[in-house]
Chain A
Amino acid sequence: MTSVLVMLLCVAALLATAALAVFMARSKQATPVIYGLSLSIAAVAFATGLVQLVSPPAEVPILMLPFSLPWLGAHFRLDPLAAFFLLVVDLGGAFASLYGLGYGRHEHAPHRVLPFFPAFLAGMNLVILADDAFTFLLSWEFMSLASWALVMAHHRDAENRRAGYLYIVMASFGTLALLLAFGLLAGPDGAYGFAAMRGMDHTPLATGLVLVLLLVGAGSKAGLVPLHVWLPLAHPAAPSHVSALMSGVMTKVAVYGFIRVLFDLVGTPAWWSGLLVLLIGSGTAVLGILHALMERDLKRMLAYSTIENIGVVFVGLGLALAFKDAGMELAAALAMTAALFHVLNHSFFKSLLFFGAGAVLTRTGERDMEKLGGLIHRMPVTAFTFLVGCMAISALPPFNGFASEWLAFQAILQSPDLPQWALTILVPAVGGLLALSAALAAACFVRAFGIAFLGRPRTDPAANASEADRFSLAAMSILAGLCLLAGILPGIVIDALAPVTQLLVGGRMPVQTDMPWLSIVPVTESRSSYNGLLVFLFIGFSAWLTAGLVHRFASRALRRAPAWDCGFPQIDATMQYSAGSFAQPVRRVFGTLVFRARERVDMPPPGTLSPARFALETHDLVWEGLYLPIAGAVGYVAEKLNYLQFLTIRRYLSLVFLALVLLLLVLALWS
């Protein structure tokens, strides 16, 4: 009870901060005051969530407030699942606020950002706290609208307006699907409280429909293919700390919605729901990262990579669904832990990477990788933390991304015991796709870091960049530290997630902090184990030892000389390998199928002086195959219906009359 109250007070404080921001947005002190307030409130909320998760009270705290719909009231509840997601949201919010303290100074229209930032945070907190459908949907819409306003902060840019338009259309569509899903769950009596939904038995048809509606509603917010099209446009359009919130945190709120309804409210969905989620998840992962690899805009690349990570999370959720249905609690807990751990990890490294991209953007004015380069010399701390984020997101040991993907692979290895042969055969293939997306992610982030931070500067702004401000650096450094900590001490996180898996799938992983040397052991030690701490120490120690020995006994002389130019003098920075050329082999191998990419080279015949031309043609098949036809159909129907707007009053009246008769007829026939 008290913890819910504290959380709601935090939400109220955030809303009050938003109101304050409306009034003082144009003053000079607004940026530090608003972000400072948001930071402290988010920190309090984070602490509350943490306490709730680590030592959950015997009774799940609930609270009802008398407003909202008069006969309904607004219900709030703070169980371990909500506590975990609140922790993710508020930690992300706190870091975004800390980063905003520095980044916000470069904002040229602060009055368009400041009021909506705390409101956005409040909305996300409310969604997670909500314990009835009405409050949930209301908060969901509030969150969507607040983030939409932030996407539109720089609305003079035509591209941002387009992004905002697409976002609001998709968000409304998603909420509509969620509304229908809750309608189905509420049943004929309109039981809007989650407690009532939990107690009801749902028919298989209703459960199936709820799953599909959820995949549309929560999936469009999370960025599942094919509902992802708005995400890579909208997330980068917002200011960078908001991009970090949207990518790192808001997608997690969508994941929360999915988990809450499917695992908590519905109870036990059919076995094929696991299959469906697995297929969509793995497809999302591969397609997302392939898009990211082709992208030359740093922030948009990060947004596409969010889609990939959401795919990974949904693979974990699909596995958990399948195992839960088969009654394999331990395996389900393992898969669920992998998914939730990846949720936490992604919020760390995606925030970190967006902060890094934001720092680059403020210092160079560029988001285009092809115009950057050599930033490791000018922005050493940013470069180092960005490198940590790149390694973590590429699932490389000893960082946290690897720990969660390793758990996902271990869950996949539990699949032979599944009763359905379709799943047993398909799950290893899904594992292959997961490995493919991890390997593509490594290529993608080698490209991003290598092009933007290494090599020589490609433009003057990149050559004259300076290090980011101390608030940004603090936020990035702490996040980088967290990426490493969660990677080398995953056992602590896994144990903290135990109450959540207990709640969702009725099982938990073995206690990890009792294991010798803090290694993680999903099932038994003879089966598999991993120790990130020792890996980190071993690599560090052997590298240090080797370097020390070599320097002591062999040679330590170093000379700087020009790079090897192949006998071709005057190489300049534009002749470096570019982001486009780095991606070309991958595009050629995967893109001919996925993007229908075609390259054409026009070589002039020998002797002519005309330049050679290279043309590249790619297609976004989802956009062209799904969205354009729908948009075309809507346009066509609107065109036809346009005729109805120019009738005489007589005809309108007769239309009204006809409609009335028709409806009465239907009513008469119905009953």
Chain B
Amino acid sequence: MVLIRDLLVQVVQMALVVALAPLLTGFVRKAKARLLRRRGASVIQPYRDLSRLLRKEAVVAENVSWLFRMAPYLIFAATWVAAAVIPTFATGLIFSWTVDLIAIIGLLGSARFFLALAGMDVGTSFGGIGSSREMLIATLAEPAMLLIIFAVALIAGSTQLSTIAAFMTSPQVGLRVSLAVALIAIIMVAIAENARIPIDNPATHLELTMVHEAMVLEYSGRHLAMIELAAMLKLLLYLSMIVCIFVPWNIKGPEAGYPAYLVGFASYVVKLAVGGAMLALFETATAKMRVFRVPQFLGAALMLGLLATLLRFVSRSL
């Protein structure tokens, strides 16, 4: 019975993240548009885009190899697996112990590896420039993320997200400086990882400062749909991760009944909406920065992550 319930929660979670990801992106776009006093497209526009793309014929460049055609599915699969094990509304996921936080970062790294290679498979400068910059950003964002994980894991005594979520809701956490610092750092990393302003602009195609959009320039049709869906999923993943670590309230434990799951689900949607609105607000208020300013931005995240691990000792002695 327990097994069936956990399996059910897991399946619901897998379906949920894929179903919600385009909605989140649509919501952020809508919120941004409203902030700019535009009417903006409907929040379900991303679903329409995806279904249109999926039904279109895929056009690939003449010399691309199998890697270019397989990469979208692998990227999507890796991101999906990573997103499926982050507790969103309940912690009792049957496969949550398969990957811990470090392995989630690893999975996203695998997805990025294929995306960067696919960008280089075409043999034009566009893909190369995107790949090169993406990998540069990754070299700074990954260590920063790892340090944040260290800070969190050293406090919670685990790299398992469900354990961390349970620990963070328990009263023994208290108010910690290092958690606040880690929160700022993880938001900075999440912005960089998801190619949002000020690191990258998800809305442009023809600008030389672009990173993510340059890599996927040659993709079309169903391939592009998978890449776009993976990117949306990644945004949802990072938001869920932040929510799970820093505001894990109402994420229901394995013993809670099915009605409690509904409460958990409702609060998850609210949290996502608040997160999305804050992202939209931040993006509207900031200007895109030059590519070579990005290392400073991420270097700050790195230092904050390091500070968070060090401040742990201070806050522990308080």
Contact = CB atoms under 8 A, between A and B. Distances in A.
A438 B159 CA distance: 19
Contacts of A406: 102-103, 106
Contact of B98 (A391, A530, A555): A530
A634 interface: no
B128 A528 contact: no
B136 A585 contact: yes
B143 A373 contact: no
B120 A446 contact: yes
The B interface, classified by DSSP as helix, strand, loop or mixed, is: helix
B124 A432 contact: no
Given A454-B67, A582-B132, A585-B132, A546 B113 contact: no
B158 A526 contact: yes
A589 B293 CA distance: 10
B122 interface: yes
Interface in A433-455: 433-436, 438-440, 442-443, 446-447, 449-451, 454-455
A581 B313 contact: no
B95 interface: yes
A461 interface: no
A450 B309 CA distance: 36
Nearest to A383: B65
A531 B99 contact: yes
Contacts of B63: 374, 377, 455-456, 563
Interface in B170-228: 217-218, 221-222, 225-226
A534 interface: yes
Nearest to A421: B313
A502 interface: no
Contacts of B54: 550, 554-555
Nearest to A575: B125
A564 B217 contact: yes
Interface residues of B, number: 87
A519 B143 contact: no
B126 A564 contact: yes
B15 interface: no
Nearest to A547: B73
Interface in B95-141: 95, 97-100, 102-103, 106-107, 109-110, 112-113, 116-117, 119-129, 131-133, 135-136, 138-141
Given A432-B305, A450-B117, A451-B120, A589 B73 contact: no
Interface stretch (A262-270, A295-303, A321-329, A393-401): A393-401
Interface of B: 54-63, 65-67, 69-70, 73-74, 76-78, 80-81, 95, 97-100, 102-103, 106-107, 109-110, 112-113, 116-117, 119-129, 131-133, 135-136, 138-143, 145-147, 150-151, 153-154, 157-160, 163, 217-218, 221-222, 225-226, 291-292, 295, 302, 305-306, 309-310, 312-313
15 contacts: A397-B103, A413-B154, A428-B306, A429-B309, A442-B138, A527-B160, A530-B99, A531-B98, A555-B55, A563-B218, A564-B126, A575-B124, A575-B125, A577-B124, A585-B291
Given A436-B139, A454-B123, A456-B123, 20 more contacts: A396-B110, A397-B110, A416-B312, A428-B154, A428-B310, A431-B150, A442-B138, A446-B131, A446-B135, A454-B65, A454-B121, A530-B100, A535-B103, A539-B74, A543-B73, A550-B226, A558-B60, A563-B218, A575-B124, A585-B132
Interface of A: 373-374, 376-377, 387, 391, 394-397, 402, 406, 409-410, 412-413, 416, 421, 424-425, 428-429, 431-436, 438-440, 442-443, 446-447, 449-451, 454-456, 517, 519, 525-531, 534-535, 538-540, 542-544, 546-547, 550, 554-555, 557-566, 571, 573, 575-578, 581-586, 588-589
